[in-house]
Chains A and B, each alone.
Chain A
Amino acid sequence: MSDVLTSTPKAVSGPANFLDERLGGGAFLKRNLRKIFPDHWSFLLGEIALYSFVVLLLTGTFLTLWFKPSMMEIAYDGSYAPLKGVMMSEAYASSLEISFDVRGGLLIRQMHHWAALLFVAGMMVHALRVFFTGAYRKPREINWLIGVLLLTLALAEGLTGYSLPDDLLSGAGLRITEGVAISLPLVGTYITFFLFGGEYPGGDVISRFYSLHILLIPGILLALVSAHMVLMWVQKHTQMPGKGRTNQNVVGAPFYPAFMAKAGAYFLFTLGVIAGLATFTQINPIWIFGPYTPADVSAGSQPDFYMGFLEGALRIMPPWEINLFGTSHAGTLPLSVLIPALVPMGIIMTGLALYPFLERWVTGDHREHHIADRPRNNPHRTSIGVSAITFYGVLWLLGANDEIAANFHISLNMTTYAGRVLIFVAPALAYLIAYRMCLGLQRSDQAVISHGVESGVIKRLPHGEFIEVHTPPAEDMEAHLRGKEAVPMLPVAEDGAGIPPAGMRGPLGRLRARMSKAYGGEKIPLEDGHGHGHDEHAAIEHGEAHGGDEEHAAVGAGGDDRSLTH
């Protein structure tokens, strides 16, 4: 405590002065240095994605220094003995060079791949956090849309990157990409010929994917990530409900110095974990697979996890194909490719993009929201989310149905038949279960508010009965629970003559009204006024009103002391 700064040191004030005189950033810093960031573990999920992206940019740039995006066939002449003299593309040869002839090359290559997985996974859980807490609501819809775009682009970025090394495994992925592209109605052959520069595989696709992978898509990603951050900064982060937190404030730690340091540490954690994974867990050992040839495939080949759901969808599809115009040379619809390739992805991405707007349409809620919902407090939203996760999860698991069949000794065909049923049944079941669970959790919140929490203090009454003393919840916890608010609903009530309000007539209007009634409203009010004695209720209200020590004690004695001997 001896050294305390009383004036800005020259080393800082000099440059700061120089910049301020030219840029005038003083006002900005005055407003923003102490910008407040709320704290909650789930707010860190997006940061995982952000920092993984930074790691991808750094490691990816390192890889470009040696990688040769060329499909020219050469005889391998590097130091990996088993492939010496084998004909392969320069892309594959240079990937081997990075792995075996560049010190640290294997480490960085594996870090790049692990960071890619973490990037996508981080975005997914972050998006789920935002969804389940309703943080996409006004004014954050635009940032939500940017997020959906980011997720889509990340899949494209992963797909192009995965194809670059041109080993047997990456080629299998490319072949599937081609099979899907060529199946598109009307434009399929055009798209594949333009993409591959002619017939598959041609000699161009690696260099084309390369420019997409290292320039175009990362450029767009970077722009969108920046926009995402700026919007978050301007709109300020949402916060969890709690003591002293309202829709009009932010409670937390200042950017400088606390949040800044924490964010720095968090970046380092992400980087450190990626480095650790790359050190101890081998990923994509391309030298084992050998160079790509369309004539071969390595059995049990699996795509990266984020493509697994598409793989699963392709696997459970029945063999449907339609020839609209019989034998004439047009009109073939390979549904067993088109449906699995487009429909699940379409449902998920479109659903994500539209959800904030659909919800607003159904609830008629046009207010700004800065307090995050607890998932239980909007049971239909939570159930829809859980249902979507289940849909995705079933497809994802079926992307590995061969492994499942082998590990659990069930027939492969059984897993496929089960998948065809589960893809419809499981999301519906998940919806019902999640809905019940939300209501159950709401009820337990209600119990805490109405009856207090179990204190652990057992009291023996004069007539011999044992009771456990209940006390009101602690202030901050109660504030957290009371952050709940009924899900808004449209004014759907019919007037005296049985006529629904304007906008609720007609088939669409009636559907909207019905959905609003189901979706909105308070399912389990926090205060249940019935079934318990008057004085108990009064006592709790009394406790709330003052919140001091004596009141707590008083409530402890006279509160809702439930018998343990019932």
Chain B
Amino acid sequence: MTDNEHEIEQPDERVPKRVIGTPPPGTSMLGTAEVTQAEEEAPGVNLQDETKARKAEKIVAFCFMITFVAAIAFIISYVVFQVGSPEATGTSNMALGTSLTVAILSLAIGIVVWVRQIMPKYSLVQERHPMVSDEDVRGVVEKTFIEGANESGFVKRKLLRRTLLLGAAPLGLIPLVLLRDLDNSKMPGSQFNKLLRHTVWGEKTKDGKPRKLVVEGTGQPIRAADFNSPGGILSVVPEGYEHDLNALAKATLILIKFRPEELKSGVKQNWTHDGIVAYSKICTHVGCPAALYEQNTHHILCPCHQSTFDAADGAKVIFGPAARPLPQLPITVDSEGYLIAQGDFEVPPGPSYWERGDAEAEARAKGGQA
């Protein structure tokens, strides 16, 4: 093998060096080194120098030995290291992973050295032919096609052709029809969007009482008198639906306590209780929980795409891609002083959809509160 052969394999790598700098030693610039192909068998196959190859063989063998040892180490680690706690799992992962990595990489390195230093350097040439078939072949195919089309009767027999198409059309629809029951609610598709207009806040509890607001996680009802430090915030879910993910996906609330003078006109005052305001926590953009709250600015921030809502002003959008305020839930207290829902949201909470319409304007027109 000569340098020259190597260059053919890696043209891009070598060229810039010589354009930018001075030529590397031993290249053809001021006189080509004779291409030595003493041991050559066939043109384009340049055998490696045997002493070099023998050295390489030892390196390759060493790599393969490492693979052997590391693979054994993997099996031993599997038996020795148990999993369970994060620490134990971490140790096991480290032992298994390291031995596997070493075993595989040294096998890879061994093979690469083998290819590069023991196998010949190749610069073989093979011809390409245009992809297109010969004219006469194409002629024969065309003729065969026409013959077959006529023989089959497909061309001549219109009735056959048309009824085949007729039959195939509904057959092709069957897979689509079969998918109709993907929806489990067993309601007409046009009714789907009606479900989105309601949340469990609109339903009374089993014993006919209005639904309590309870703290997410603990399920504790909230006594208004206890939620009394301005700037306080709670993540709230409906009583009885603490673990119902479908209900939570629409009904989760963010509850904020204000000083009465902080509230601006966007907040519907008689839907609040003593400066406590409840907004849907489900972002009106694409539905992430708008979970972050900044006390001094009263900003609710959705971590997904950073829509920002002004909680002191009806949660109207002040930044980001959300186009609508977070709906406010009408709340009050029951006889024992616990926070309860007065009823459902006036507009559908969560992301927009085709059938939603301008629900806010609709609510205003219905004479909702200012």
Contact = CB atoms under 8 A, between A and B. Distances in A.
B352 interface: yes
Nearest to B108: A268
Interface stretch (A20-28, A382-390, A452-460, A502-510): A452-460
B29 A474 contact: yes
A81 B85 contact: yes
B22 A242 contact: no
A403 to B, nearest CB: 12
Interface in B247-278: 248-250, 252
B124 A251 contact: yes
Interface string A184-199: 1111111001110111
Nearest to A328: B357
Nearest to A201: B245
A413 B105 contact: no
A533 interface: no
A179 B216 CA distance: 23
Contacts of A110: 93
B246 A201 contact: yes
Contact of A79 (B84, B196, B351): B84
B123 A252 contact: yes
B195 A199 contact: yes
Which residue among A186, A334, A401, A476 has the maximum number of chain B CB atoms within 10 Å of its CB?
A: A334
B320 interface: yes
Given A102-B83, A193-B189, A327-B359, A556 B105 contact: no
B196 A189 contact: yes
A281 to B, nearest CB: 10
B156 interface: no
A172 B355 contact: no
A139 B98 contact: no
Given A104-B96, A413-B319, A331 B8 contact: no
A556 B30 CA distance: 8
Given A183-B353, A264-B111, A327-B362, A176 B245 contact: no
Given A201-B245, A327-B365, A453 B356 contact: no
Given A249-B127, A262-B112, A454 B105 contact: no
Contacts, number: 368
A171 to B, nearest CB: 9
Contacts of B81: 103
Contacts of A471: 29-30
Interface in A214-259: 235-236, 240, 242-244, 247-254, 257-258
A243 B322 CA distance: 59
B321 A319 contact: yes
Interface residues of A, number: 138
B183 A197 contact: yes
A475 B27 CA distance: 10
Contacts of A250: 125-128
A251 B114 contact: no
Nearest to A264: B111
B83 A103 contact: yes
Contact of B235 (A139, A296, A337, A402): A296
B40 interface: no
Contact of A456 (B22, B82, B83): B22
Interface stretch (A152-160, A309-317, A356-364): A309-317
A334 to B, nearest CB: 4
A411 to B, nearest CB: 10
Which residue among B10, B107, B353 has the maximum number of chain A CB atoms within 10 Å of its CB?
A: B353
B131 A455 contact: no
B361 interface: yes
Interface stretch (A272-280, A429-437, A520-528): A272-280
B322 A329 contact: no
Contacts of B322: 319, 336
Interface in B329-353: 350-353
Interface stretch (B158-166, B167-175, B285-293): B285-293
The 5 closest A-B pairs by CB, nearest first: A179-B286, A279-B97, A456-B22, A268-B108, A321-B323
23 contacts: A102-B83, A103-B83, A178-B351, A179-B287, A182-B353, A189-B193, A194-B182, A202-B246, A254-B124, A280-B97, A299-B292, A318-B321, A332-B356, A333-B354, A402-B306, A412-B306, A444-B19, A456-B21, A471-B29, A474-B28, A476-B7, A552-B30, A553-B30
Interface of A: 1, 34-36, 39-42, 73, 79-81, 87, 99-107, 110, 139, 172, 175-176, 178-180, 182-190, 193-195, 197-202, 204, 235-236, 240, 242-244, 247-254, 257-258, 261-262, 264-266, 268-269, 271-273, 275-276, 278-280, 287, 292-297, 299-301, 311, 314-321, 323, 325-334, 336-337, 340, 368, 370, 401-402, 412-413, 416, 444, 448, 453-456, 471, 473-477, 480-481, 549, 552-553, 556
Given A110-B93, A240-B11, A334-B323, 4 more contacts: A35-B126, A175-B287, A176-B304, A332-B355
